[in-house]
Chains A and B, each alone.
Chain A
Amino acid sequence: MAIVIIGNSAAAVEAIEAIRKVDRSVPITVISDEPHSAYSRPLISYLLAGEIKPGQIYYRPKNFYEKNGIQTFLGKRVVKTFFKEKAVQLENGEKISYDRLLIATGGKPFLPKMEGLDKSGVYTFTKLEDAKKISLALRDAEKAVVIGGGLIGLKAAEALKKRKIEVTVVELADHILSLTMDETASSILEKALKKEGVHLITSNTVEAILGDGHVDSVRLANKKLIKTQLVVLAIGVIPNVDPFKETSLHIEKGILVNERMETNVPDVYAAGDVTQAYDKILKSYRTIPIWPNACLQGKIAGYQMAGNKKYQYEGSFMMNSIEVANIPTISIGLTNPPQDNGFQVIKKFDRGSDVYRKVILRGDAIVGAIFTGHIERAGIITGLLRDGVKVKGFKKELMSEQFGFISFPKALRKERLLNLK
């Protein structure tokens, strides 16, 4: 038996740890096109901002691979797979055989069709190298334009702002964080960001990046020009399925996986941002490119590959925690339900303190929530959503900042406090 893992981020790390809980000796090989030990991609914005020490980005101990007996091929790209003969091939032609293969190649930045993408001074922002390159480029930059007002774009913008760069964020939708937040939550964050000095342009987009070799400005759809020495593309991430496009793997947006993280190809598993898996709230297969989901899927894949079949994937859902301009905010599940009778929305907004709380119900079950300004104990709501708990009888209490187990009926409280996870 030999296990090969392509990828070296959250899903891969969790898979390794799960495999080693079951099997101390099965050979594990990790192949990654990045030359680094496992690091936390979400930490790159903290690194760029100068909020963490350079070494802090490596979120596992230095001896992680050694301790777990892992053979590594770091800085090596898989270019071809041979599922019938159970092998993968590297750029240099070397073939590596597997008995079980885990594809954990993560996501990659979505690149729009845009004039001037090839100019120097244009960066994406998902990997450690991106943060390093941008950091160097800041020496000669005073202004930056971030294309995309989602999570990555805003974290990039805040990091640049902390590095004393004048930042403009351009967002196509009419409010920032349009995929995860609603207009009320976004307006709170927009106001705070503007107060911090970040320029926000919504309902607009960059149609061209201009400059002679190096970027010197961008042109918006409304023909307005913005001077800049730096452009960060943060429109979104898509599954990194490039090495597998010509294979028999079943791929729609991402690689489709079942509850055991198996793909349609025998002994080939996939986990993390590269997958398309069941969303228990939307009741469909979709990409859920968030850290906790990558870890969960990686862990399940690890256990399954090592022979512990107890761990299965019950489906996940979107959730994000992001602090923008010192305002903490959490969004869970379906935050903008379709306008029909199937959903009930309860919300509370205190304009004075900018505290906003919203819960979306389908029948008596919570299917989504937004917390802005006050996020304390939001996890209790996440737990109720995750487990499909009926909240009939204490719906009103959901709006209270004091919401807790005290709000539950006694039987439910006992059940949830005594049946420990």
Chain B
Amino acid sequence: MKRIFVKEEVCIGCRLCEVHCLVEHSKSKNIFKAFKEENPRALPRIHVEEKGTLSFSLQCRHCEDPYCLEACMSGALYRDKKTGAILHNKEQCVGCWMCVMVCPYGAIQRDLNGKKAASKCDLCVGKETPICVMKCPNEALEYREG
């Protein structure tokens, strides 16, 4: 399946991927409203790691055989039959954080704004290319098979 890959050599650490991910997962999908008016504020599902001049972003790898699916005792995490993406049903989630405990990429986080629930990349359901890849100004993010 198609996944997002990062080229750390060209990532400049601008965090635009985080900004656009947050907006994409907001109610209004409007950058101003998403940051200044929506409460609870959406969380970006992509995370930029940075140290000195080195930076790269990371999000759910949508593993073929994911640990998070085994650990999810609420049935909130599931694989989308069509795309193969690992998706998360917020309503079913109880915030036990087993997925946080087992994800070897550290790609699932706690969303404590509003209903306490896990939060993760959904590959921008319905979009041909995830927003982070589209908006990366330096083509550090690629969406390809792998």
Chain A positions within 8 Å of B, measured between CB atoms, are 10, 14, 40, 42-43, 46, 51-52, 56, 59-60, 291-292, 295-296, 299, 319-323, 328, 330, 332, 375-380, 382-384, 386-387, 404-407, 413, 416-418, 420-421
Of B3, B54, B95, the contact of A323 (CB 8 Å cutoff):
B95
Is there contact, CB below 8 Å, between B109 and A376? yes
Chain B residue at smallest Cβ distance from A39:
B75
CA distance in complex: A413, B105 (Å): 11
CA distance in complex: A145, B67 (Å): 36
Task: Tell me whether A420 and B63 are in contact in the complex, defined as CB-CB below 8 angstroms, given that A375-B100, A378-B101 are known contacts.
Answer: yes
The reply to whether the CB of B19 lies closer than 8 angstroms to some CB of chain A is: no
CA distance in complex: A420, B65 (Å): 9
The reply to whether the CB of B38 lies closer than 8 angstroms to some CB of chain A is: no
CA distance in complex: A14, B75 (Å): 12
Is there contact, CB below 8 Å, between B49 and A292? no
CA distance in complex: A127, B108 (Å): 29
Is there contact, CB below 8 Å, between B92 and A421? no
Cross-chain pairs A/B with CB under 8 angstroms, 11 sampled? A292-B98, A292-B102, A332-B101, A375-B100, A379-B103, A380-B106, A383-B104, A405-B106, A406-B55, A417-B6, A421-B66
Task: Tell me whether A382 and B70 are in contact in the complex, defined as CB-CB below 8 angstroms, given that A43-B94, A405-B58 are known contacts.
Answer: no
Chain A residue at smallest Cβ distance from B68:
A379
Of A377, A384, A420, the contact of B3 (CB 8 Å cutoff):
A420
Is there contact, CB below 8 Å, between A14 and B70? yes
CA distance in complex: A387, B67 (Å): 13
Of B3, B61, B100, the contact of A378 (CB 8 Å cutoff):
B100
Of listed B5, B58, B98, residue having the most chain A CB within 10 A: B98
CA distance in complex: A176, B79 (Å): 37
CA distance in complex: A413, B102 (Å): 18
Is there contact, CB below 8 Å, between A421 and B51? no
Is there contact, CB below 8 Å, between B104 and A421? yes
Is there contact, CB below 8 Å, between B104 and A380? yes
Is there contact, CB below 8 Å, between A56 and B92? yes
CA distance in complex: A420, B105 (Å): 10
Of listed B3, B94, B109, residue having the most chain A CB within 10 A: B94
Is there contact, CB below 8 Å, between A292 and B70? yes
Is there contact, CB below 8 Å, between A421 and B96? no
Task: Tell me whether A421 and B73 are in contact in the complex, defined as CB-CB below 8 angstroms, given that A292-B98, A382-B102 are known contacts.
Answer: no
* Complex contacts, A404 vs chain B, CB 8 Å: 47, 49, 58, 106
* Complex contacts, A332 vs chain B, CB 8 Å: 101
Chain B positions within 8 Å of A, measured between CB atoms, are 3, 5-6, 8, 47, 49-51, 54-56, 58, 61, 63-67, 69-71, 73-75, 92, 94-110, 146
Is there contact, CB below 8 Å, between A376 and B110? yes
Number of A-B contacts (CB under 8 A): 122
* Complex contacts, B47 vs chain A, CB 8 Å: 404
Chain B residue at smallest Cβ distance from A292:
B71
CA distance in complex: A14, B70 (Å): 8
**Shortest distance from the beta carbon of A51 to any chain B beta carbon, whole Å:** 7
CA distance in complex: A98, B55 (Å): 56
Of B74, B96, B101, the contact of A379 (CB 8 Å cutoff):
B101
* Complex contacts, A417 vs chain B, CB 8 Å: 6, 58, 105
CA distance in complex: A319, B55 (Å): 31
CA distance in complex: A10, B78 (Å): 15
CA distance in complex: A320, B101 (Å): 8
Chain B residue at smallest Cβ distance from A61:
B75
Is there contact, CB below 8 Å, between A52 and B94? yes
**Shortest distance from the beta carbon of A329 to any chain B beta carbon, whole Å:** 9
Is there contact, CB below 8 Å, between B96 and A323? yes
Task: Tell me whether A377 and B106 are in contact in the complex, defined as CB-CB below 8 angstroms, given that A59-B75, A328-B97 are known contacts.
Answer: yes
Chain B residue at smallest Cβ distance from A322:
B96
Is there contact, CB below 8 Å, between B71 and A295? yes
Task: Tell me whether A42 and B66 are in contact in the complex, defined as CB-CB below 8 angstroms, given that A379-B102, A405-B58 are known contacts.
Answer: no
**Shortest distance from the beta carbon of B72 to any chain A beta carbon, whole Å:** 8
